[in-house]
């Protein structure tokens, strides 16, 4: 395997752009989640219940995902094939999971067991679907844009 110094400049630049695009994509969507989360937990859940509150939040998060998946590569001037866009989604997913665990531990006082138990509930299933879409959105947007011309 080649060392980083021996890689062509364009390959190093491409890796950097994938990383910065993934970080920007993550930050944009996570910021929306940080705004929507307290609204869901403090206002919607007591009135509607956890499942309906999560369903109310989901369209806004999905919209943020697709907007951020379109904007982040443009802002970072990332170019690449489908593999680069898949890497953006997967790297952003890893960043999201790290941040989500940190928020759960730090702000909500949840244990890892508490956080894992969420996935066995209807709100957790919705959350899992949102996570899968979050990881796939950069690739889906790229494929749609490529097909549109």
Closest by Cα among 109, 135, 134, 136 to 41: 109
The domain in which residue 67 lies consists of 19-148
pTM of the model: 0.87
Asked if the structure places residue 82 within a domain, the reply is yes
Kindly report the average pLDDT of the chain as a whole number. 91
In a domain, 127, yes or no: yes
Question: So what's the pLDDT on residue 10?
Answer: 56
Which residue's entry shows tokens 């910021």?
31
Single out the residue of 142, 148, 5, 31 nearest to residue 87, CA to CA: 142
Q: Is residue 2 part of a domain?
A: no
Looking at the domain assignment, is residue 11 inside a domain?
A: no
pLDDT at 89: 98
Residue 74 domain-assigned? yes
Mean pLDDT, range 65-87, rounded to an integer: 96
The confidence band for 108, taking pLDDT boundaries of 50, 70 and 90, is confident
Residue 75: predicted pLDDT: 96
Q: What tens digit of pLDDT does each residue of 45-59 get?
A: 999 999 999 999 999
Q: Considering the domain boundaries, does residue 92 fall inside one?
A: yes
pLDDT bin (cut points 50, 70, 90) of residue 146 is confident
């Amino acid at each position: 395997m080649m060392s980083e110094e021996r890689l062509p400049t364009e390959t190093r630049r491409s890796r950097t752009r994938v990383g910065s695009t993934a970080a920007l994509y993550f930050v944009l969507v996570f910021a929306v989640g940080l705004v929507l989360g307290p609204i869901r937990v403090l206002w919607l859940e007591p009135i509607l219940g956890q499942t309906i509150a999560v369903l109310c939040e989901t369209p806004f998060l999905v919209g943020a995902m697709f907007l951020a998946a379109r904007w982040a590569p443009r802002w970072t001037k990332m170019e690449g094939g489908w593999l680069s866009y898949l890497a953006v989604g997967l790297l952003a997913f890893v960043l999201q999971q790290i941040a989500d665990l940190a928020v759960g531990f730090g702000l909500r006082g949840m244990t890892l067991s508490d956080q894992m138990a969420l996935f066995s509930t209807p709100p957790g299933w919705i959350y899992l679907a949102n996570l899968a879409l979050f990881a796939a959105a950069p690739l889906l947007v790229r494929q749609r844009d490529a097909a549109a011309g």
